[in-house]
Structure 1
Amino acid sequence: MDALAAELRALAPSCGPVRLVAVDGHAGSGKTTFAGRLAAALGGAPVVHLDDLATHAEPFDWTERLRAQVLDPLAAGRSTEHQVYDWTLGHFAGTAAVPLAPVVLIEGVGAGRRAVRPRLARLIWMELAAEDARRRGEERDGPALADFWAGWARAESAHFAADPSRPYAATTVDGVTGRISAGTVGEPSTSP
């Protein structure tokens, strides 16, 4: 993880002075966990969770909120904050700060979408089959959210069919082990 963090810090800025790094993959593939580990390796890099910008009614229509509340201010060299959606209350409640930093992570399904890619320094994909990721998510969330997962799976499938991220990822990470996949950018050196 330290080698990947050093590599990301060395990239050219992609969004104003920031190296914007996306962690994308299917829901339940380990994006949040991996982004947290990477943020720690980066010395506490800010992480924008796309679940905070999505809503029940608009699970994938958060691009404009991300642009206006996060990307444009960072591109202008300013710290910012964004609204946070409360999934229990069903509306936006509160905000999350995004300090200006050398590297800022965005994580969530669709983080590497077409509208965001021009501002990315790196796209990381969590490699886990959709059905395995869904099973993991359902186990995590319990039977009370089974209907949500069924609807989510349809929406996610439609999203990736129309706007795939995986082909644009320079780095892939095994969603089970959390290890950077062989043959991708950021792979740890095997030399002594």
Structure 2
Amino acid sequence: MSSALSRSNPVPRAVEDAVTAILDTVVPGMVLIVDGRSGAGKTTFARALVARWPDGLEVESVALDDLYPGWDGLAAGSAYAYARVLAPRRERRPATWQRWDWAAERYGDVRTCPPERALLLEGSGALTPASAALASVRVWLDAPDDVRQERALRRDGDTYRPHWERWARQEDDHIASHDPRALATHIVEVA
């Protein structure tokens, strides 16, 4: 699936189209992965999907923002998510992970997700060949660089501004190493 949309109000329309398509595939215990560069709309997409999730079916939403060990941690957060959140599902075991405390610069509170609950993992670096093998729905969100940067800096402001380029280099490495767009079952292009 691919949606190309106008810049006037791109995220809500793109999200709505993709969410509607994906909701038709929901089954108990499924794994969904949402990846894309910073500011592409991953969190917006994940929230919209969870908000419309079918009644009677549980879903756990895990944001890689809660797992990255700091501003240089895209690859480490992705590996941690695979090892602690995704891989246990292969053996029908509960996923158990700790959230990264950005202020204390260490892992903190423990979270758990039982294997029968659907799992939605979203964040830059989430979609790799290893993680793709465990997910029935894999989404790549894309948007022009200027749109993504404006959206991300409006969202996170001065906290993110000094880290934009360093984070973008990590995203470049992830894309070059894993080609997440090619692994996606759904591509959402926000023009």
Place the TM-score, normalised by the shorter chain, in its bin.
0.7 to 0.9
* Other-structure match for 1:32: 43
Letter matched to residue 74 of structure 1? R
**Residue identity matched to 1:83:** Q
Q: Is the 8 A contact 1:48 1:98 kept in 2?
A: no
Give the whole-Å Cα distance in 2 for the aligned partners of 1:164 and 1:97: 29
Match of 2:173 among 134, 139, 158: 158
Q: Give the secondary structure class of the aligned counterpart of 1:110.
A: coil
Q: Tell me the residue number matched to 1:111.
A: 126
TM-score by length of 2: 0.77
Confirm or deny that 1:87 pairs with 2:98: no
- Report sequence identity in percent: 29
Question: Secondary structure of the equivalent of 1:4?
Answer: helix
Say whether the 8 Å CA contact 1:24–1:108 is kept in structure 2: yes
User: d(CA) in 2 for partners of 1:73 and 1:167?
Assistant: 25
Q: For 1:170 and 1:19, how far apart are their aligned partners in 2?
A: 14
Q: Which runs of 5+ in 1 are unaligned?
A: 10-16, 177-192
Question: RMSD of aligned C-alpha atoms?
Answer: 2.2
1-structure distance, mates of 2:145, 2:114 = 33
Shift of 1:175: 4.1
1:37 maps to amino acid: A
More relative contact order, 1 or 2 (CA 8 Å, 6+ apart): 2
Q: Which has the higher helix share?
A: 2
Match of residue 180 from structure 1: none
| 1:8 equivalent in structure 2 | 26
The CA deviation string for residues 69-121 of structure 1, in whole angstroms up to 9 with x for no partner, is: 22232222233321100122211111223233353111001211122111121
Partner amino acid, structure 2, of 1:32? T
Q: Deviations over 1:137-181 (max 9, x none)?
A: 1121113431111211122122212222112222122447xxxxx
Question: Does the 8 Å CA contact 2:68/2:78 hold for their aligned counterparts?
Answer: no
2:84 aligns with 69
- 52, 55, 61: which one pairs with 1:41? 52
Question: What are the equivalent positions in structure 2 for 1:108-147 lying under 5 Å apart?
Answer: 108-147=123-162
Q: Runs of 5+ in structure 2 lacking a partner?
A: 1-18
TM-score (norm 1): 0.77
Equivalent pairs, count: 169
> The residue matched to 2:82 in structure 1 has which SS?
helix
**Who is 1:187 aligned against?**
none
Question: CA offset at residue 3 of structure 1?
Answer: 4.8
Corresponding residue of 1:53: 67
Q: Output the CA distance in 1 between the equivalents of 2:149 and 2:90.
A: 34
Between 107-116 and 66-75, the greater mean CA deviation after superposition: 66-75
